[in-house]
Structure 1
Amino acid sequence: MRPEIGGRLWYVAVTVAGDEVEPLLVRSALARLSEERPFIDSVEFTHTSAELSYWDEGSSVLDVASLALRLWAEHRESAGLPSWEVVGLEVVEKSVHDARAHGRGGGPSSSTAHPFPL
């Protein structure tokens, strides 16, 4: 994570999934990934998926999302990660993340959201 001049802070959650892998092998691989990329805040995993969460700094959501989408593949060999693929990505600006954490939403209000007509 390299701070950029004028960069904003973003909360990133990358979800990967694939074929079943022994949980101890997944745990070991994720530990190696954490050593290679110590900025990862949290990791949750099962035998078929993992979610990595961290903070990143960048000038736009596109810049941060592009890096996040490459994270797993770029460390697959060096950390011995499973051959899983990215199946989910969330990138939100710090103010949105903070609003959610304090129960203030940050997304569309349920009182003003309307379903799409079918």
Structure 2
Amino acid sequence: MRRLASVEGGQGSRIGEESASAGREESRLWHVTLSVAGARTPLQDVRRALEQLAHDHPFLLTSRYAADHAEIRYWEEARDLRDAAAVALRLWGEHRRSARLPPWEIVGLEVIGRETYHQRLAEGYGPPPAVPVGVHPF
């Protein structure tokens, strides 16, 4: 954090600004896996809805789907795990109407920090990298 400083100039004194991060916590990246499930829905409707969700939520990495369940993986920027989880738990409901998502319920949520995500990959376990990116059947 920079201190306030008085700078003498030809037109009087100016006060320097504190750094932008002073007084607030920095955001971190969190890897989110959201699992939803419910009544069978035609596959083409599920795919179209997930593609619309990806358009509405540009940080969506990948979605996998079947007629009665789906998994959505993406990165979320948030101050802490609690904030990232709160956003994830609202995602499906908030986009249900605009993306015409099936009326499924959230049945699973995993939120892990970026370091943990990369550590799991390095150790050979955890979610595989989200490749290819996009919406794909299970």
**TM-score of the superposed pair, with normalisation by structure 1:** 0.82
Give the 3-state SS of the residue equivalent to 1:31 in structure 2: helix
| Aligned position for 1:27 | 47
Say which one has the larger Rg.
Answer: 2
Per chain length, whose mean CA-contact separation is higher, i.e. which structure has more relative contact order (CA < 8 Å, sep 6+)?
1
Q: CA RMSD in A?
A: 1.6
Long gaps (5+) in structure 2? 1-23, 127-138
Report the equivalent of 2:108: 88
* Range that drifts further, 97-106 or 52-61: 97-106
1:104 Cα deviation from its structure 2 partner: 6.6
Tell me the percent identity. Answer: 41
- Structure 1 segments, 4+ long, off by >2 Å, are none
Cα deviation, residue 105, structure 1 = 6.5
* Displacement after TM superposition at 1:8 (Å): 1.2
Amino acid at match of 1:10: W
Deviation at 1:59, TM superposition (A): 1.2
Match of 2:113, as an amino acid? E
**Aligned partners of 1:60 and 1:5: how far apart in 2?**
9
Q: TM-score, normalised by structure 2?
A: 0.71
Q: Map 1:18-97; keep pairs closer than 5 Å.
A: 18-97=38-117
> Can you give the 5+ residue segments of structure 1 that lack an aligned partner in the other structure?
107-118
Count of residues in correspondence between the two structures: 103
Letter in 1 for 2:31: Y
